[in-house]
Amino acid sequence: MEPVIPTTSLDQTVNAGKTIWVVFPLNIPIDIAILKGMEEAAAAAGMEVKAWDAVDPQTWSDGIRAAIQADADAIFAAALDPQLIDAALQEAEDAGIPVIGSYGGDPDAPLPFGVDYQIGVNYVSEGKVIADYVLANTGCEGTTVLFSTTIFPSAVLENEGIQAEFERLCPNDCELVYEQVDFADLATTVPVLTQTVLRRTKDVNMVIAAFDIVALFVNQGIEQEGLDVKVVSHDGDEVGLDAIRSGTSPQVATLSFPPGEYFGWVIVDQLSRLMAGQEPDRDSAAFVGQLIDASNVGADNSIPEVFPNMVGFQDKYKAIWITE
């Protein structure tokens, strides 16, 4: 994985003093890392970032409306289905505030209502990669349990990719079982759900967790049951990398985003281009995940260890930003 930096320079002097609002869950490790990157990038460009913790459609809408009331210059509203917050997005559009989202669909597909640009990964493709890993490691035998949710479009699309790949490669010899998790109460409900599902389901040899934060609690349930069941997930959160590196956790792999800090710089660059009247950069806004397991997890979670080719991306952005 290497950084993809826009080839067109950006005059950030026109954005100095502006404020970007971020509306997404602040309890998910990858989102925390993204926010950190956004704050660093905004500071380098003379801007400020405000964050709003959103956990459901109401709090997402509240965050967008708070940004409007605060005269935000741009909004990054990630993860939730835009159709669930369409009234708030309409208000942002009426206020002339650009909104960038990250919903996990085809980057070249038509934009959802109220969203000026989309950034992130194609989760259908990511789901297929996860399924390929699972089927290669199980020999297309036994049962795989998918612990996921339908609250986030990214999870829905990932689920579609996983299911399609299972049907294509393993239509008769293995089984995929879906289990819905309560994203509002993962810590309490997921370990118990995991134990219940594994007790009642025969021949489970692999579990897929939609995100590393889900895998954290799936791992706990498996360990409490004392079962030899492996877990693969998505995101590349520190909790997932730590689990893989330990060599003792059920989790053996994760399909990782680029470093969250890098993600944050990309978002600030894209929003800055919109605020400056430029077209966002398509190539740098579409990410492809990196599969991480024991062979490449590195000695710690630093970018040089896990993503050595990403070192120095901040300086590459600064080189194309005109700040004085």
Q: Has residue 53 got a pLDDT over 90?
A: yes
- Residues facing 147 on adjacent strands: 179, 209
- Alpha helices (runs of H) in the chain, residue ranges in sequence order: 29-44, 57-69, 86-94, 123-138, 153-169, 186-200, 212-225, 238-246, 260-275, 282-285, 303-306, 313-320
Checking phi first, is residue 161 left (phi over 0); if not, alpha (psi -120 to 50) or beta? alpha
Lowest mean pLDDT segment, chosen from 73-77, 79-83, 190-194: 79-83
Q: How far apart are CA 193 and CA 181, in angstroms?
A: 8
Residue-averaged pLDDT of the chain: 91
Look at residue 104 in the predicted model and tell me its pLDDT. 60
pLDDT in tens, 90-116: 999 999 999 988 766 556 667 777 788
- Buried b / exposed e across 58-72, counting CB within 10 Å, b at 16+? ebbbbbbbebbeeeb
Cβ neighbours, 10 Å, residue 7:
9
Q: How far apart are CA 115 and CA 81, in angstroms?
A: 11
Query: Taking the domain 10-120+258-287, which CATH number applies?
Result: 3.40.50.2300
Domains of the chain, residue spans: 10-120+258-287, 123-256
Look at residue 73 in the predicted model and tell me its pLDDT. 96
Give the confidence band of 55 by pLDDT, cuts at 50, 70, 90. Answer: confident
Q: How far apart are CA 246 and CA 100, in angstroms?
A: 37
Look at residue 108 in the predicted model and tell me its pLDDT. 66
pLDDT in tens, 131-177: 999 999 999 999 999 999 988 888 899 999 999 999 999 988 899 99
Q: Between 203 and 285, whose confidence is greater?
A: 203
> Distance from first CA to last CA of the chain, Å, rounded?
31
Over range 288-305, report the average pLDDT: 93
- Residues facing 235 on adjacent strands: 256
| Strand-strand pairing, 99-101 and 74-77 | parallel
Distances (CA, A) of 312 to 4, 35, 282, 302, 319: 12, 18, 21, 13, 11
Look at residue 106 in the predicted model and tell me its pLDDT. 59
| Residue 302: its H or E element | none
Same fold flag, 10-120+258-287 and 123-256: yes
**In one letter, which amino acid is 45?**
A
pLDDT in tens, 1-51: 889 999 999 999 999 999 999 998 888 888 898 999 999 999 999 999 999
Domain 123-256 CATH superfamily = Response regulator (3.40.50.2300)
